[in-house]
Structure 1
Amino acid sequence: MSKYLHQLTLLSGIVTMSLAGATSTSLADDETKEAWRLFVSDQTASKVTVLDPDAGQILDQYSMSGYVTHLVPSKSKKTIFAVQMDHDVVNVIASGITISGHGDHSDIEVENPSLLPVKLEGARPVHVIAHGGNMVQFFDREGEARVYSEDVLLEGNSDYKTVKTTAPHHGVVVPMGDYFLASEPNMEVETKEGDLPPRLGVKAINKNGETVAEIATCTGLHGEAHSAGLVAFGCEEGVIIASIKGNNPPEFKMLEYSADMPEGKVGTLAGGKAMQFFLGNYGADKLVIIDPSSDNPYLVVSLPVRYVHFVLDPENVKTAYVFTEDGKLNALNVLSGEISHSAQITEPYSKDGHWRDPRPRIAVMGDKIAVTDPREGIVRLLDSKSFEEEKTIKVDGLPFNVVAIGGSGLQH
Structure 2
Amino acid sequence: MLSRLGTAAVIAVALLVIACGGEEERVDDTGTTLSVVTSTTIVEDLVKQVGGDRVSTTSIVPLNADVHTFHVTPSDITRAAESDLLVIVGSSLSVVEEQLAESAGGAVLELTHDMDLRPFPEVLAHDDHDDHDEHEHEDEHEHEDEQEHDDAHEHEDEGMHEDEDDHGAPALLGRLLVADGVAAHLSVIDLSTDDVDSGAFEIAAPNATVYSSPTHRYGIVIARGPDAGDDRIHIFDGGVFYVPHGDHYDLVTGPVSRHALEIAEEWPVHFVNSHGWTTIFADTNGHVILINEQDLVSSTGDYEPIVIEAGFQHGAALVIADDHVILSTNNPACTEFIPGTWECLPLGVEVRTFDNEVVYDAASHSCTNLHGEAHNAHGAVFGCWEGVLFVHAHDGHYEHEVIPYPPEVGEEGEFALGQYYGHHHSDNFFAPATLFPDGQCCALGGVWLVDVVNGEMREVFPGPSAAAAFSSDGETFYMLAADGVLRAFDSHDGELIGTMQLVDPFEMVFGRPSPAIIVVGEWLYAADPNSGHVLGVHLTHMEIEEEWHVGGAPSSLAFVGVIADAHDDHDEHEHEDEHEHEDEHEDEHEHEDEHGHHGHA
Structure 1's 409 and 331: CA in aligned 2 closer, same or farther, altered over 3 A? closer
Superposition TM-score, scaled by structure 1 size: 0.83
User: Do the aligned residues in 1 keep the contact of 2:426 with 2:491 (CA within 8 Å)?
Assistant: no
Which amino acid is the alignment partner of residue 405 of structure 2?
Answer: Y
Written as runs of structure 1 = structure 2, the 5 A alignment for 1:99-110 is 108-110=251-253
User: Do the aligned residues in 2 keep the contact of 1:227 with 1:271 (CA within 8 Å)?
Assistant: yes
2:238 corresponds, among 88, 95, 115, to: 95
| 1:168 to partner: Cα distance | 1.6
Aligned to 1:56: 194
Structure with the greater alpha carbon radius of gyration? 2
Matched, 1:75 2:214: yes
> Residue 35 of structure 1 aligns to a residue in which SS?
strand
| 1:204 to partner: Cα distance | 2.1
> Residue 153 of structure 1 aligns to a residue in which SS?
helix
User: Do the aligned residues in 2 keep the contact of 1:222 with 1:233 (CA within 8 Å)?
Assistant: yes
Structure 1's 92 and 192: CA in aligned 2 closer, same or farther, altered over 3 A? closer
Aligned to 1:38: 176
| 1:268 to partner: Cα distance | 1.4
- Percent identity over the alignment is 21
User: Do the aligned residues in 2 keep the contact of 1:152 with 1:159 (CA within 8 Å)?
Assistant: no
Task: Write the distance in 2 (CA, Å) between the matches of 1:14 and 1:239.
Answer: 38
Aligned to 1:384: 539
Alpha-carbon displacement from aligned partner over 1:51-81 (angstroms, at most 9, x marks no partner): 1235433157211121253222221211121
Written as runs of structure 1 = structure 2, the 5 A alignment for 1:7-406 is 24-26=159-161, 27=164, 34-59=172-197, 61-86=200-225, 87-98=230-241, 108-154=251-297, 155-165=300-310, 167-177=311-321, 178-188=323-333, 197-212=344-359, 213-214=361-362, 215-245=364-394, 248=397, 250-261=398-409, 264-283=415-434, 284-295=444-455, 297-303=456-462, 305-315=463-473, 317-351=474-508, 353-354=509-510, 356-405=511-560, 406=562
Alpha-carbon displacement from aligned partner over 1:175-207 (angstroms, at most 9, x marks no partner): 223332111222236989787622222122234
Alpha-carbon displacement from aligned partner over 1:347-395 (angstroms, at most 9, x marks no partner): 21112x31x3121111123222211111111112222133322232011
Alpha-carbon displacement from aligned partner over 1:154-175 (angstroms, at most 9, x marks no partner): 432231222111x222112222
Task: Write the distance in 2 (CA, Å) between the matches of 1:192 and 1:82.
Answer: 23
Alpha-carbon displacement from aligned partner over 1:27-68 (angstroms, at most 9, x marks no partner): 59xxx9641421111112111112123543315721112125
User: Do the aligned residues in 1 keep the contact of 2:469 with 2:479 (CA within 8 Å)?
Assistant: yes
Normalized per residue, which structure has more strand? 1
Task: Write the distance in 2 (CA, Å) between the matches of 1:291 and 1:186.
Answer: 28
Greater relative contact order, per chain length (Cα 8 Å cut-off, separation 6+): 1
Task: Write the distance in 2 (CA, Å) between the matches of 1:311 and 1:58.
Answer: 24
Task: Write the distance in 2 (CA, Å) between the matches of 1:310 and 1:125.
Answer: 21
Structure 1's 176 and 334: CA in aligned 2 closer, same or farther, altered over 3 A? closer
Alpha-carbon displacement from aligned partner over 1:7-26 (angstroms, at most 9, x marks no partner): xxxxxx99779xxxx97133
Task: Write the distance in 2 (CA, Å) between the matches of 1:193 and 1:314.
Answer: 37
Which amino acid is the alignment partner of residue 272 of structure 2?
Answer: I
| 1:83 to partner: Cα distance | 0.8
Task: Write the distance in 2 (CA, Å) between the matches of 1:362 and 1:141.
Answer: 28
Which amino acid is the alignment partner of residue 200 of structure 1?
Answer: L
User: Do the aligned residues in 1 keep the contact of 2:472 with 2:522 (CA within 8 Å)?
Assistant: no
> Residue 505 of structure 2 aligns to a residue in which SS?
coil
Task: Write the distance in 1 (CA, Å) between the matches of 2:209 and 2:563.
Answer: 23
Aligned to 1:5: none
> Residue 82 of structure 1 aligns to a residue in which SS?
strand
Which amino acid is the alignment partner of residue 46 of structure 1?
Answer: A
Aligned residues: 382
Structure 1's 357 and 14: CA in aligned 2 closer, same or farther, altered over 3 A? farther
Aligned to 2:590: none
Which amino acid is the alignment partner of residue 93 of structure 1?
Answer: F
| 1:294 to partner: Cα distance | 0.8
Structure 1's 179 and 335: CA in aligned 2 closer, same or farther, altered over 3 A? closer
Q: CA RMSD in A?
A: 3.1
| 1:122 to partner: Cα distance | 2.0
Unaligned runs of 5+ in 1: 1-12
> Residue 223 of structure 1 aligns to a residue in which SS?
strand
| 1:82 to partner: Cα distance | 0.5
Normalized per residue, which structure has more helix? 2
User: Do the aligned residues in 2 keep the contact of 1:360 with 1:371 (CA within 8 Å)?
Assistant: yes
| 1:143 to partner: Cα distance | 1.3
